[in-house]
A and B are shown apart, each in its own frame.
Chain A
Amino acid sequence: MPTKASAKPKASTKSTKVKDINLKINNIDISVPAGTKIYDAARKAGFSIPTLCYLKGICNDGSCRICVVEVKGEKNLVTSCYAAVREGMEVFTTTQKVLKDRKITLELLLSDHKVDCPSCPRAGACELKTLSNQYGCDMNRYPGKKNEYQIDDSSGFLVRDNNRCILCRRCVHMCNKIQSVGVIGVNHRGFHTDIGQAFEAELKDSPCVACGLCINVCPVGALTEKDDTQKILDAIQDSSKHVIVGVAPAVRVALGEEFGHPIGTDVEGKMISSLKMLGFDKVFDVSMAADLTIMEEGTELLHRLHDEDAKLPMITSCSPGWVNFVEYYYPELLGHISSCKSPQQMFGAIMKTYYAEKFELDPKNIFVATIMPCIAKKTEILRGSQATADAQDVDAVITTRELARLIKKASIEFNKLPIGDWDNPLGVGSTAGLIFGTTGGVMEASLRTLSETINKKPLKDLDFKKVRGIEYIKEASVDLDEIGKLNVAVVHTLGEARKILEQIKEGKSEYHFIEVMACSGGCVGGGGQPIVCSDIINDNIDIPSARAKAMYSKDKKSGSRKSHENPIIQEVYREYLGEVGGDKAHKILHTKHKKRIRHP
């Protein structure tokens, strides 16, 4: 938050240009715009300051006290993540006093923390562990009573172990401020303060939409995904099972981070090889199913546009966190949600029907696993409307993080792997399907197909730049023959999506078609993606965009950039589904959404 001019009475109000402030950080002269936090000024001067609660754009409570620095003339230490610079200020970030106090802070946190580092799933990326190590902490310095909590593993997607929680409140802000869900919050007070749901309800009995973003911001191992890797290993071991794995678009541009690659590295080929080495019978790209979604969703939109009674705008349904959100909080608007299954569910449905038939397999003996950047996908596989009677469309979901864990557990030397290829048939998607993994991608893929199929001429430029980028709400209009101007919007994060829903509720929405993704930046920033240390986030690095960039550059170079031209898709309709949006397609690829009770 920028400090206001009124904080310094002498500031000139004439010029709109922000004045520069001169100060010294550890005796280094530096000049930064007025309003800059000491933390940022220090980084500019080349000094990183540790943080446990501060997370740029999300949490700035100043509660952990680890980022304190000494300021000449101040009696007490100053919170660098919150305090703004002043002219002539002299800041010291590593004096004896500062280091000593940070050490005490860490030791106090450790004194009320379940120190089970060797078995903690976060051990590798735990910010508390890293700092405690750096500061040479004695974990038994302050022996005393620890709070004891029951581990909440009631839900099928997330485990909360408050014994490890250090009350930084990043998750609370993520859930409340960014997502506007507010299912978790700070309860009780003093030493007994904890994070949890109303009336200490278990997560399964709470209106959590399962976006999982709280996990990504947790500096310790208090929040983790429900680990389903064993289910996968069991299936692979079971000789009666034909085990298929489908990989979501966003996984390949993030998995590399777990193996030391820079953010935004595309490791698709190595990833495919590793999956084959893990023993999957078939390794497919879920982008293919994304292409199917484009076909079905586009057709549904056209139906709605031609039907006066149909609900408009139509909103995408591929983000399960988003669908959960509407079912819990805006059930009256469910009619606006496309009835299409998500690409994951379409993928599973096609495997259990078309693929099973084609290869004469009993759907019950096919085990479909997916690798997703997403936590909510773990809830999605349990929805109704499965394509076959006795089997789920998808049997198990693991996240990008869990896949990395599997690869490491199998002692596969990831970085030495050769480039592998997707299996055929059904293995390959267009890059229109690939960009589903980022905010704006579904809309762009859709616009490519809608334009070409309706206007019946090829697009000169396939790039719809207006729907790209990290802006929260993006708008565009496209001219379509017969239909006229199609107004579209692209939204990410649930907090922003709520605004769009409120507009619809008030009858003020002028859009025809809206893409919503629950997570910040879309699936590339999903709750199942590799955890990025807050030090990097606080250095103004936009992680979702870096990952998305890898997708867009692949798309740019690709020879297959349109869903409707994907030969596999054409074959599936020709051989099996029949008409796009037809009865059979509906039965297999569509679903129903229904209201959910928030507090049973």
Chain B
Amino acid sequence: MKTLQQLQEIRDKEKIRMSIRENTGECVLTTVKKSVLICGGTGCVSGSSKITRDEFKARLKDHNLENEIEVIFVGCFGLCAKGPIVIIYPEGTFYEHVFPKDVGEIVDTHLVGGQVVKRLENKEAYDDGRNKPLFETQFYKAQQRICLKNCGHIDPENIDEYIAMDGYLAYPKCVKEMTPEGVIDVIKASNLRGRGGGGFPTGRKWEVTAKAKGDQKYIVCNADEGDPGAFMDRSILEGDPHSVIESMMIAGYACGATMGYVYIRAEYPIAVQRLLMALHQAREYGILGKNAMGLGHEFDIEVRLGAGAFVCGESSALVTSIEGHRGEPRQKPPNLAVEGLWGKPTALNNVETLANIPQIILNGADWYSSIGSPGNTGTKVFALGGKIVNTGLVEIPMGTTLRTVIEDIGGGCMNGKKFKAAQTGGPSGGCIPAELIDTPIDFDSLTEIGSMMGSGGLIVMDEDNCMVDIAKFFLDFTVEESCGKCTPCRIGNKRLFEILTRISEGKGEMKDIDEMLELSEYIKRDSLCGLGKTAPNPVISTIQYFKDEFIAHIKDKKCPAGVCTALLQYIIDKEKCIGCTLCIRKCPVDAIKGELKKPETFEVIQEKCIKCGACEPACKFKAILKV
């Protein structure tokens, strides 16, 4: 077991080694002269970054440079759109879209030859003949990284690097200098609110757990990140797993729990593996377990895997699932803090919430609450996705406007299309229309405009997205993921989905709009759990902001965005057609007729057409029109 003294020695030593990554452009007094940081987040790993890493190592070995140049597989840098990403320090060269085939060139030209490989360099990160520090680029400038502080900076598989970043300092500070109540007071004063979606004050949750009667108490980390389009929890676990472990230890001390569980999606194999490795290392260092760090307290963590059920993100369902049952929610109250896992008081926090804790302990509640706005303190991580240029992971102070996120950080819509709406809160959230782009992003403002923070997915939609279709997409998701226990969610959402389907097929009636709103309000009032209670939000908010699109589907039997296939027709512009018959050959159902070189004879037989769209790109003369 390592003593606090030994941990400090590791910290001091590693700090020097890692100072090379400070972007100072200088070599420091270590044997390591250069650091190659390769993104090891799921996105980049999917782009073969693991092979890229091995390739770097092999090539450097060929050049006998393996001791001078370290290759580090780090967590997500955030700018997934440019992935796989490689950054070389101390000069801070930012390479984008690096694949295994590119490694030879980078090694030979840059690492050996000292010349930057221009074709792979991120254009923005190079300015006036010098490398711009990463955090000065447009994507990072407006961000403030607290939860993601270590992501993309440290090797998540090396506990020493976490220690070097002041890791495992917060826990001893709590135990040595503070009472459990004192810890809770700091968290309360920081005004930290749960990042899983509900926004319940974390300190209060801990307080209730601490005060609840129980011979055993539990800390549960919710890493069942099910919101489609949200992946911050995964990235934190992949890039900085120790921060979550340390937070759970702190929570354990504050609440009087000796056991913790991390419930994580099985769809996140890399996160699971890094977390398990981190737990193993922490136990080896005597950081976890009995008498952790020799401070007289006990805490250990077990990992439980989800098995593909969105509803398990709901706290009572999650606990039920850990207990080994069908993950169905139960009635609340009693809340988990009173009666949770195996009937014992349980503090359940989401990954991102926990990732804030060590920083709050080390820097103080005042520091934290000065970020963001009162009542909505700190930062929030968002997963930017959809029709936006810079897809990726961003961390912004609460209260940053949607405009900043979409236009400045996100770089606007792809292909110069018009921004139409942003969806936050996943299937529980709503769509924010373009006219509300100046809304500050925080818990209360989003709720006010009919959306919600949710876990932090932010999906951008442009003029080509149909809002009826989007509402239908989310309802389809909820219907699929409903546990089926209570009537409003099981049947109500299904009926809501069926009405939307009818509208998207041109079979809707005007009264359907009111019918949907009534049913939605009912489902919100009467459902058993949070999943059901929020499921109609996408429907309500799309009707609120995009009612004319619904009316277009119902009255004009048209889908303005051209998405709802039942309302589409492909026709042939006889002016442009030259009668080449390419479309006839492409059509899988013989729905186009026409004689060679006789454009006037060309016609789409609507009764036969299945609207697969195969003909449209096939025509070289843009003579096939979608109307």
Contacts and interface: CB of A to CB of B under 8 A. Distances in A.
A and B touch in the complex (CB under 8 A): yes
A189 B482 contact: yes
Contacts of B519: 104, 142
Contact of B526 (A5, A68, A83, A193): A68
Interface stretch (B332-340, B407-415, B542-550): B332-340
A401 interface: no
B81 to A, nearest CB: 34
A190 B213 contact: no
Contacts of A61: 330-331, 485
Contacts of A76: 524-526, 533
A347 B177 CA distance: 81
Given A144-B494, A191-B479, A6 B484 contact: no
Do most interface residues of chain A lie in helix, strand or loop, or is the interface mixed? loop
B494 A77 contact: no
Interface string B92-109: 000000000000000000
A514 to B, nearest CB: 32
Interface stretch (A107-115, A293-301, A575-583): A107-115
A167 B518 CA distance: 24
Interface in A1-56: 3-7, 9
A62 interface: yes
B487 A105 contact: yes
Contacts of A100: 522
Interface string B441-482: 000000000000000000000000000000000000001111
A108 B491 contact: yes
Contacts of B479: 190-191
A191 B488 contact: no
Contacts of A109: 487, 491
A62 B486 CA distance: 8
Interface in B325-354: 326, 330-331, 333-334, 338-339, 345
Contacts of A83: 331, 333
Contact of A191 (B338, B491, B526): B491
B198 to A, nearest CB: 14
Contact of A189 (B483, B494, B518, B527): B483
A111 B495 contact: yes
Given A4-B213, A61-B485, A76-B526, A190 B490 contact: yes
A129 B495 CA distance: 21
Q: How large is the interface on B (under 10, 10 to 19, 20 to 34, 35 or more residues)?
A: 35 or more
Nearest to A142: B495
B492 interface: yes
Interface in A81-136: 82-83, 97, 100-101, 104-105, 108-109, 111-112
A71 to B, nearest CB: 12
Contacts of A468: none
Given A62-B331, A108-B492, A112-B491, A192 B526 contact: no
Contacts of B481: 190
Given A101-B525, A186-B326, A191-B479, A64 B334 contact: no
B333 A6 contact: no
A68 B524 CA distance: 13
B309 interface: yes
A192 B488 contact: no
A108 B495 contact: yes
B211 interface: yes
A599 interface: no
Contacts of B345: 6
A83 B528 CA distance: 12
Nearest to B527: A65
Interface residues of A, number: 40
B286 to A, nearest CB: 34
A453 interface: no
A6 B490 contact: no
Contact of A144 (B488, B498, B528): B498
Contact of A145 (B326, B330, B331, B498): B498
Contact of B331 (A9, A82, A189, A191): A82
Nearest to B212: A6
Interface string A446-475: 000000000000000000000000000000
A64 B522 contact: no
Contacts of B212: 6
Contact of A63 (B480, B485, B492): B485
Contact of B483 (A5, A97, A112, A190): A190
Contact of B334 (A7, A68, A189): A7
Nearest to B485: A63
Interface in B499-522: 518-519, 522
A3 B491 CA distance: 30
Given A7-B333, A101-B525, A192 B484 contact: yes
A111 B213 CA distance: 45
A140 B569 CA distance: 33
Contacts of B528: 62-63, 65, 79
A77 B487 CA distance: 14
Nearest to A70: B525
A354 B512 CA distance: 74
B488 A65 contact: yes
A34 to B, nearest CB: 14
A141 to B, nearest CB: 9
Contacts of A188: 484
Given A101-B522, A191-B490, A4 B484 contact: no
Contacts of B494: 144-145, 190-191
A97 B484 CA distance: 24
A65 B488 CA distance: 8
Contacts of A108: 487-488, 491-492, 495
B392 to A, nearest CB: 32
Nearest to A144: B498
Contact of B484 (A64, A142, A166, A190): A190
Contact of B487 (A64, A75, A82): A64
B484 A191 contact: yes
A403 B293 CA distance: 75
Interface in A170-204: 186, 188-193
Contacts of B525: 68, 75-77, 97, 101
A7 B333 CA distance: 8
Contacts of A7: 333-334, 338
Contacts of B333: 3, 7, 83
A82 B528 CA distance: 11
Nearest to B334: A7
B484 A193 contact: yes
A167 B328 CA distance: 14
B488 A189 contact: no
Contacts of A190: 479-484, 490, 494
B484 A167 contact: yes
Nearest to B501: A144
A85 to B, nearest CB: 12
B485 A144 contact: no
Contact of A77 (B338, B492, B526): B526
Contacts of B482: 189-191
Contacts of B309: 189
A66 B486 CA distance: 10
Nearest to A188: B484
Interface in B516-568: 518-519, 522, 524-528, 533
Given A76-B525, A145-B498, A189 B487 contact: no
Nearest to B486: A63
A89 to B, nearest CB: 13
Interface in B68-114: none
A192 B338 CA distance: 33
A572 to B, nearest CB: 54
Given A108-B495, A145-B494, 20 more contacts: A6-B338, A6-B345, A7-B334, A61-B331, A64-B487, A66-B487, A68-B526, A77-B525, A83-B331, A104-B518, A142-B491, A144-B495, A145-B498, A186-B484, A190-B479, A190-B490, A192-B484, A193-B483, A193-B484, A193-B490
Please provide the 8 A-B residue pairs with the shortest distance between their CB atoms, ordered closest to farther.
A193-B484, A108-B491, A190-B482, A82-B331, A62-B331, A144-B498, A142-B495, A191-B494
